[in-house]
Structure 1
């Protein structure tokens, strides 16, 4: 592989969406709140959301929640194309705790497709319009039993599915459901740990990155491991490439509150970090605007934090560079675990909630998002999806 072309400055403008965010990103205006769909009539069970993601065409939002449901909410616009809010159109029941979920990058026959993985279940591909199962992909363990994966994503064409689990990466052809896959062992490279998150480079389509619960990040090219990045103090929960493909952002769970920006033009070097509040083992999402100008993250304090990515960097001698905070806005009464910027409009979707010790259930022993140390009054629970105008 030609490493000189690994991170080209040339960008595919057909995949670059134009987002006209307000220059300040100092205020949000609430458009709608969806909470009724997440009410559970069971005092022994605590509901909470676990993230949200806009579809690539921006017509709907996908949510994940503790009750093992994926829900799809459509964007409601009036005749003048003004956003009016969100309304639920479908919901999908998984067999166990949902570990990861992803939108297909393309719309097929006016239908969006959703991929999901859950505890002790195969990988499922769903029709987001009606919630019906489209295809199933199976990974098997050493005794030939169906095993779940912990992370997944599509490649940029949607032709392949990349899945991460304990000590391996599996790659499926989307049009070939079943158990046919390519396997990349990672036990020797990452000390037999779980591949917790996967991201594809938007410019060089042969490059992808993985994060692990062992704190390591791997950069792959042509399905071969090229570099390992180290520096986080806790398990990685999310990684994301910048729109130009030249930087990689990584965030971790409890014990490491920084989002780190890695310079892929100078492998192993960090450009800067930003600081947020992460006091739980669950995944706290961040998002990057498609024009590459803003980084937005949830916090365990009920706030979102924003940073301008061309802003001034504070650095002192013998210390890491830290990007100045642009704004911090209180938007929920509980942990903000999900943030997703609309691909073409000045809209932000957020979700809230976390597991509290009062309601902790140990049925999902291998759910790596469990946090048993969070003690908080049940009067402050907030499990909701909110839609905001960025003004």
Structure 2
């Protein structure tokens, strides 16, 4: 798909009150959204520990006209990470598979067609009790699962459920920190990157640490490779408004950064168009921002290059934590919501603080 210009968006559908209504007592709100690899469904995560799947509705011309709820998957605790399997034909027929990890639970592999639990993968702590992991990633084929947690990376084979895994210790090199995010290089398939809450990023090749990248001001919550595998993008949480682009041909050097608004510790997702020409990010301010990545970059030494903004488009009334580009159509899905701790305002005669609550999933056509 050739990228449109991202100058405006047309809302196709909104899903909010029925599934994602914000609840002041239970703090139920959305926490991200992800298109399936074939673009037929959207997966969402929310504060009520439920993964929901919505199927894309299209007209006779194969144009999106809305979403239809398919099913939901209930986890027992806070969901830390979730993703679609990139290639499920190897060991599970034609089933669409989803991987998730939640608090004090094993890793679950779900069938997205019927909601059946296909397999579990268990990591154990020092007293031989099941421990959760904080981040997940499939390898390029879907045959391996990479899991990040405090001070280690565990690798499972998808067709071997249970506790049979390879472990890579990270305590010595990455400051004994939680591995908060993992991404696989789409070209050099032996290379993957991990981000940590200690602000470090590790680049691994053949399961060996090759480089450590440093420069973030806060914990790293999301890393993603460019489609050509030559760049790595990383973003942090509260206290760090930068998405940094790292040059993997000259490891340790940054090509540029972009500025967004992050005032929360939750993960604020960003995405890259399939042709590598646009970067799109959510923001705490309720908008999505876009940047053109194919422009000339100032590479002078000792000069920080900040990429100019291409567009800023208001999409929600609350924090946009999820943004996901459709794999081949000019569509973008956005998800909003966050916790609000203070509701009482002394100068409000009704005793309520004026806060914009918006927990919704929206589908937009990109113009």
What interval of TM-score do these two structures reach, taking the shorter chain for normalisation? over 0.9
Q: Distance in 2 between matches of 1:127 and 1:255?
A: 38
Shift of 1:131: 1.5
Return closer, same or farther for 1:244/1:297 CA change in 2, 3 Å cut-off: same
1:209 aligns with 2:190: no
Residue 373 of structure 1 corresponds to none
1:349 aligns with 2:325: no
- Ranges in structure 2 where 5+ consecutive residues have no aligned partner: 344-351
Q: Distance in 2 between matches of 1:107 and 1:31?
A: 30
CA contact (8 A) 1:312 1:324 kept: no
Residue 68 of structure 2 corresponds to 87
CA contact (8 A) 1:274 1:322 kept: yes
Residue 148 of structure 2 corresponds to 164
CA contact (8 A) 2:22 2:359 kept: no
Q: Equivalent residue of 1:357, what SS? A: coil
CA contact (8 A) 1:229 1:268 kept: yes
Q: Distance in 2 between matches of 1:42 and 1:63?
A: 17
Q: Distance in 1 between matches of 2:314 and 2:41?
A: 24
Aligned residue pairs: how many? 356
- Encode CA deviations 1:184-231: one digit per residue, 9 max, x unaligned: 000001111000000000001000000000000000000000000001
1:38 aligns with 2:14: no
CA contact (8 A) 2:22 2:358 kept: no
Answer with 101-110 or 145-154: which moved more. 101-110
Residue 11 of structure 1 corresponds to none
1:387 aligns with 2:359: no
Residue 139 of structure 2 corresponds to 155
Residue 41 of structure 2 corresponds to 60
Residue 349 of structure 2 corresponds to none
Residue 348 of structure 2 corresponds to none
Q: Distance in 1 between matches of 2:151 and 2:311?
A: 39
Q: Distance in 2 between matches of 1:237 and 1:164?
A: 12
Q: Equivalent residue of 2:173, what SS? A: helix
Residue from 231, 238, 242 that aligns with 1:247: 231
Q: Distance in 1 between matches of 2:295 and 2:44?
A: 32
Shift of 1:132: 1.5
Shift of 1:279: 0.6
Residue from 78, 100, 107 that aligns with 1:97: 78
- Encode CA deviations 1:14-48: one digit per residue, 9 max, x unaligned: xxxxx2221x2100000000113434596521221
CA contact (8 A) 1:20 1:345 kept: no
Q: Equivalent residue of 2:342, what SS? A: helix
Shift of 1:377: 4.2
Residue from 77, 81, 101 that aligns with 1:117: 101
Q: Equivalent residue of 2:172, what SS? A: helix
CA contact (8 A) 2:88 2:142 kept: no
CA contact (8 A) 1:298 1:338 kept: yes
CA RMSD of aligned residues (A): 1.6
CA contact (8 A) 1:314 1:323 kept: no
1:177 aligns with 2:177: no
Q: Distance in 2 between matches of 1:62 and 1:240?
A: 19
Shift of 1:287: 0.1
- Encode CA deviations 1:307-360: one digit per residue, 9 max, x unaligned: 01012446888431011100000010000000000001000000000111138x
Shift of 1:80: 1.7
Residue from 126, 138, 143 that aligns with 2:122: 138
- Ranges in structure 1 where 5+ consecutive residues have no aligned partner: 1-18, 360-375
Residue from 165, 176, 191 that aligns with 1:192: 176
Answer with 314-323 or 144-153: which moved more. 314-323
Residue 10 of structure 1 corresponds to none
Q: Distance in 1 between matches of 2:317 and 2:232?
A: 31
1:309 aligns with 2:309: no
Return closer, same or farther for 1:189/1:31 CA change in 2, 3 Å cut-off: same
CA contact (8 A) 1:285 1:297 kept: yes
CA contact (8 A) 1:315 1:322 kept: no
